[in-house]
Amino acid sequence: MHQHQAHPVRMDPTWYDALASELAAPYMRELMQYLASESKNGKVIYPGGSDYFQALNLTPLPKVKVVILGQDPYHGPGQAHGLCFSVQPGVPPPPSLVNIYKELNADLGVPPPEPLHGCLESWARQGVLMLNCVLTVEHGLPGSHAGRGWELFTDRVIALLNEHTDGTVFVLWGAYAQKKGKHIDRKRHLVLTSAHPSPLSAYRGFFGNRPFSRINAYLASLGKAPIAWELPPIKTPIKTPIKKAPKRPRQS
């Protein structure tokens, strides 16, 4: 974790050093001021401020093997925690993540975690950078923080990986991510593209694409350790509302 007086951000030092000039850029100062102002005015923003850069905190720059690009954070209460497609412990996996689990099972025979959860931190800690292109969102308003500057920042993150690493796997699900990754050097890196895992598009090429086995085969070909995709159990149970039995009419 790296703290800086002007930018109290929680980020691995390797990323902080690489992105210091970006964090100090006028557009990022304006973005942080905007987020602070919105919060002060009562807007609920996800994830919490300490988790804006959680993807860059859990996966140090030299450890990145795989990059999965998302669009923006989940916009419901208690879901987002700074990793794309992942949700906090105790929150049911959203539909896109359910489909990711289905494809992982079909591809490698890896079942969903038991008991069921949607926290993908173990992937991040193994070198899977789970990066949303926009790192914040207002409650209930998907895409609400697009165009505020996050895209410039995450473009720089991708450019750093493209230029200063070799043999990184970039996973681009859906048109948005594919446009974001159009400048990645495909001679130095493996770029995997398919439809998005959303229920609206998963049957148009996400299912059957087998990204997990392809990632591990590529890593093995470079002498890198494969990703252990099986998620460890988490003790926090999923909070489900208790359904009360309907009241029966009194019998006289």
Helix (H, G, I), strand (E, B) or coil at 157: helix
**Residue 112 to residue 104: CA distance in whole angstroms:** 8
**Cis amide linkage into residue 47, ω under 30° from 0:** yes
DSSP 121-149: HHHHHTTEEEEESS--EETTBTTTTTTSS
List residues with catalytic annotation: 72
Asked whether 187 and 208 are in contact (CB, 8 A), the reply is no
| Helices and strands: H and E segment counts in the chain | 8, 6
